[in-house]
């Protein structure tokens, strides 16, 4: 199946209350996804919108341009990058989403952390940042793509999971969980081993790449190798218009944005892809329930002697 066919397989999403929604993803999530492809001036405009979308909905195009130290023409170019006809449509979208967001805890941000912030504000800021990433990821997650990804994983003869840096931890965790329910899953930290493994994949196999930026050279290279061998390729990234999109049949995008000087993007970015990986794992386990349960029970028995607590039956 072609990349285009996969991506047309479904466009249903989840709204902020967890209900199915067939509309476009939240505008703030869409803005975050195109950030790496924007010019410096366009990025300044985008960051103004992300920082305070509710207030931005009340600004004129001139006011927004002045706040971003750029021109109205730059604002218009950003609108086109977001597939919007113009600024009036952007303001309407911001206003509509801003009203809904006010009812959610993460709408109140604790602000950027500084060396003098007390620990309770640190906890609140990290919590709200994580909640925001999870809520926005769920809101823009394409359920059709997710369902197709579950289906190809269930039918896969082999599954390779790739990731470098912070993403390698998520990739390793996902591969381990897939093995526990009986899938033939592997993960290689060394790029040469990963390429060799990808070269052994074929039709019906699946390669999963996790990359927050979508621009990790190693992950893109390995997914490209797997796709060239006929394997299905799934990318989990925060940026849909990134190099990894060129080698992925299925795109599952996250929404995590944090510019605090004391928090690496990887801190907030861990939670959003983990949400998607959890959904994939549970989806596969549901589709293979009897087999998965037997495998999990066998795995628990195998490591029982290394636990200081009595084994709990899987029920």
Q: For 107-128, what is each residue's pLDDT tens digit? A: 334 456 677 888 888 888 778 7
Selection from 87, 153, 133, 161 nearest residue 255 by Cα? 133
As given in the structure block, the two tokens for residue 295 are 């495998």
Band (pLDDT 50/70/90 cuts) for residue 315 is: low
Going by pLDDT thresholds of 50, 70 and 90, the confidence category of residue 134 is confident
Please list the alpha-helical segments (H only) found in the chain. 3-7, 27-34, 40-51, 53-56, 61-67, 72-81, 87-101, 119-140, 143-155, 166-180, 191-199, 217-228, 265-269, 271-287, 289-302
Q: Which residue has the higher pLDDT, 106 or 56?
A: 56
Specify which residues 252 forms β-bridges with. 236
Predicted local distance difference test score (pLDDT) of residue 288: 96
Mean pLDDT of the 85-94 span: 90
Better-scored residue on pLDDT, 198 or 9: 198
Instruction: Round to whole Å and give the CA distance between 71 and 75.
Output: 7
Q: Mean pLDDT across the stretch 232-237?
A: 97
Two structure tokens written together for 208: 């999963």
* Alpha carbon separation from 179 to 33, 158, 166, 281 (Å, rounded): 32, 11, 21, 11
CB-CB contact of 274 with 68 (8 Å): no
For residue 143, is pLDDT > 70?
yes
C-alpha–C-alpha distance, residues 160 and 171, integer Å:
9
Q: Rounded to the nearest 5°, which phi and psi values hold at 21? A: -145, 130
d(CA 248, CA 141): 16
Is the model's pLDDT at 258 over the cut of 50? yes
Beta bridge partners of 210: 236
Structural domains for the chain: 38-102 (1.10.10.10), 143-302 (3.40.50.10490)
The 10 Å Cβ neighbour count of residue 100 is 14
pLDDT (average), residues 182-192: 95
Structure confidence at residue 10 (pLDDT): 45
Distance between the two ends of the chain, CA-based, in angstroms? 38
Q: Residue 98 has what pLDDT?
A: 63
User: In a 3-state reduction of DSSP, which class is residue 121?
Assistant: helix
Q: What is the pLDDT of residue 36?
A: 81
3-class DSSP assignment, residue 161: strand
pLDDT band at 25 (very low <50, low <70, confident <90, very high): low
Q: 6 or 95, which is more confident?
A: 95
Name the helix (H) or strand (E) containing 233: strand 232-237
Res 312: pLDDT? 60
Instruction: Give the list of residues 6+ apart from residue 200 with CB closer than 8 angstroms, or none.
Output: 158, 229
| The predicted structure's pLDDT at residue 99 | 53
* Dmax (CA) of the chain: 68
Question: Is pLDDT at 104 greater than 50 in this prediction?
Answer: no
pLDDT band at 96 (very low <50, low <70, confident <90, very high): confident
DSSP 229: T
What's the rounded mean pLDDT across residues 221-246? Answer: 95
**Dihedral (CA of 64, 21, 245, 265) sign:** positive
In percent, the amount of the chain with pLDDT more than 90 equals 54
Mean pLDDT of the chain: 84
The strand pairing partners of 186, in sequence order, are 160
How far apart are alpha carbons 184 and 40 in whole angstroms? Answer: 45
């Amino acid at each position: 199946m072609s990349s285009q066919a996969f991506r047309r397989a479904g466009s249903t999403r989840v709204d902020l209350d967890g209900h199915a929604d067939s509309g476009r993803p939240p505008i703030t999530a869409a803005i975050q996804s195109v950030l790496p492809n924007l010019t410096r001036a366009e990025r300044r405009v985008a960051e103004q919108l992300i920082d305070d979308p509710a207030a931005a909905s009340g600004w004129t195009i001139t006011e927004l341009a002045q706040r971003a130290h750029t021109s109205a023409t730059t604002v218009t170019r950003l609108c086109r990058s977001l597939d919007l006809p113009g600024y009036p449509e952007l303001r309407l979208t911001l206003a509509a989403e801003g009203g809904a967001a006010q009812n959610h805890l993460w709408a109140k941000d604790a602000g950027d952390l500084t060396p003098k912030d007390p620990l309770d504000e640190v906890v609140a800021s990290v919590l709200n940042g994580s909640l925001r990433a999870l809520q926005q990821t769920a809101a823009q997650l394409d359920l059709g793509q997710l369902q197709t990804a579950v289906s190809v994983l269930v039918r896969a003869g082999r599954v390779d999971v790739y990731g470098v840096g912070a993403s390698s931890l998520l990739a390793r965790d996902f591969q381990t969980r897939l093995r526990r329910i009986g899938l033939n899953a592997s993960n290689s930290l060394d790029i040469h081993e990963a390429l060799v493994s990808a070269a052994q994949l074929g039709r019906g196999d699946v390669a999963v790449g996790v990359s927050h930026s979508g621009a990790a050279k190693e992950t893109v290279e390995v997914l490209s190798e797997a796709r060239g061998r006929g394997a299905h390729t799934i990318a989990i990234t925060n940026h849909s218009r990134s190099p990894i999109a060129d080698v992925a049949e299925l795109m599952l995008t996250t929404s995590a944005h944090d510019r605090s000087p004391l928090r690496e993007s990887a801190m907030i970015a861990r939670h959003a892809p983990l949400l998607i990986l959890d959904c994939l794992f549970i989806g596969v386990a549901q589709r293979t329930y009897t087999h998965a349960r037997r495998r999990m029970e066998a795995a628990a028995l195998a490591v029982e002697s290394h636990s200081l607590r009595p084994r709990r039956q899987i029920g």
